[in-house]
Amino acid sequence: QEGDIVRRIDSDQAQAASTLKFEDPEQSRVAFTDRSMLLERLGVDVNFGIVADQTADTASFIYPRALGTTAEGAAARVAAAVEGERGHVLSTLKHFPGHGAMPGDSHSSIPQSALTLDEWLTGHAVPFRAGIDAGAEMVMLGHLLFPAIDSEPASLSAVWNGILRDQLGFDGIIITDDMRMLQDSGNPDYSDAALNAVAALRAGATMLLYVLPTNPQAIGADPDRIIDTITEAVLGGTIEESTIDDAALRLLTVRRELSGETSAWHK
């Protein structure tokens, strides 16, 4: 629920990025407070709603949804949006490492950027760092490729998971963007949904996101096959069991906190 063009709940009339990017950051805090309170009233406790990408290119796919045209401007509004959502929903920053760094649309391709790590750290990393420092509980990995940094898109990259954890200090939940998008990119390397899932978990993702039709088998994204393939990967040692344990513990801890439960863990 970003608002504006990415709005699932029509009654959300709070300002969105298309106007907030030109406003004082306080307006972002107000808008995301209102938005998150609406979601809370409807029983929603997680919002994939804070676009931490930044770009000044009006032709960019992500421009209408980005909260700033500069790293510093986006950072201030992203942090304010996280502050606005606090206590109402869990905040998600997207699309890490930054869709604004490149042309193209990750719904139908795997966009690429020639940025080096040092260049990224001084630019597109800044809004994500600000959102993390403000307390965002989740970060969404984009299907975005930075060949100078890693040969895999961020959603399948142990390198980018490591940068997020170690250099930006994020200790929360890492979720991928919709995994179907990898198949829709047309890149034959990512045509197998189950193998993509294994790669994402092996790289360090806590959760995998799927937006599936009624008949997912028709698009080659059968959940049963995906689960079976992940299980086989764990049993065969392709994915360390400790990786699954870590992801499960992070998610169980958050679910417990959301439930309001304060008693001791049951054994």
Catalytic site residues? Answer: 107, 177
Across the strands, what pairs with 47?
A: 91
Q: Take residue 67 and report the two structure tokens written for it.
A: 């909260």
164 and 95 Cβ atoms separated by less than 8 Å:
no
Whole-Å CA distances, 68 to 19, 38, 76, 112: 10, 24, 9, 21
d(CA 143, CA 152): 9
The CA distance from 22 to 73, in Å, is 9
Total residues belonging to the chain: 267
Give per-residue burial for 55-68: e unless 16+ CB within 10 Å, then b.
beeeebbbbbbbbb
CA nearest 170: which of 201, 143, 200, 205? 205
Tokens of 108: 């139908």
Backbone angles phi, psi at 261, to 5 degrees: -70, 130
